[in-house]
Amino acid sequence: MAYLYLTIAVISEVVATLSLKAADEFTKLLPSILVIVGYGISFYFLMLCLRTIPVGITYALWSGFGIVIVAIGGRVIYHQVLDLPAIVGMTLIAIGVVTINIFSKAAIH
């Protein structure tokens, strides 16, 4: 269940983060609600993960997946282009997340 909770936490955090731009400094109601509710859901499910997964692993996975998915969402939704160093950096983050999941004894399997 911990990884299901982590997935929900990541998805809701991504929705909230991508909604920040659309909220236009909290002047637009629906995106502003998505920001507040999305982060609330994300932190709740992140808390549930901490029952099973160590905090460092939980945060590494949550933030790593979030960074990569938000960058892809920013490209698709807002047409923001990433340069080569950004792509390389995010690739390294993704490799780190995979390494943690496959090889770390601290992560639950």
Residues 6 or more apart whose Cβ sits within 8 Å of residue 36: 16
**Rounded-to-integer distance, Cα 24 and Cα 101, Å:** 36
CB 61 within 8 A of CB 97: yes
Token match 């909770």: residue? 5
Structure tokens at 57: 């692993």
What global pTM score does this model have? 0.86
Q: Assign 87 to helix, strand or coil.
A: helix
Distance CA 35, CA 9 (A): 13
Give tens-digit pLDDT for 75-95: 999 999 999 999 999 899 889
Which residue shows structure tokens 């996975």?
61
Q: What are phi and psi of 108, to 5 degrees?
A: -80, 145
Structure confidence at residue 108 as a pLDDT band (50, 70, 90): low
**Domain boundaries of the chain, sorted by first residue:** 2-103
Residues 14-60: pLDDT tens digits?
999 999 999 999 999 999 999 999 999 999 999 999 999 989 889 88
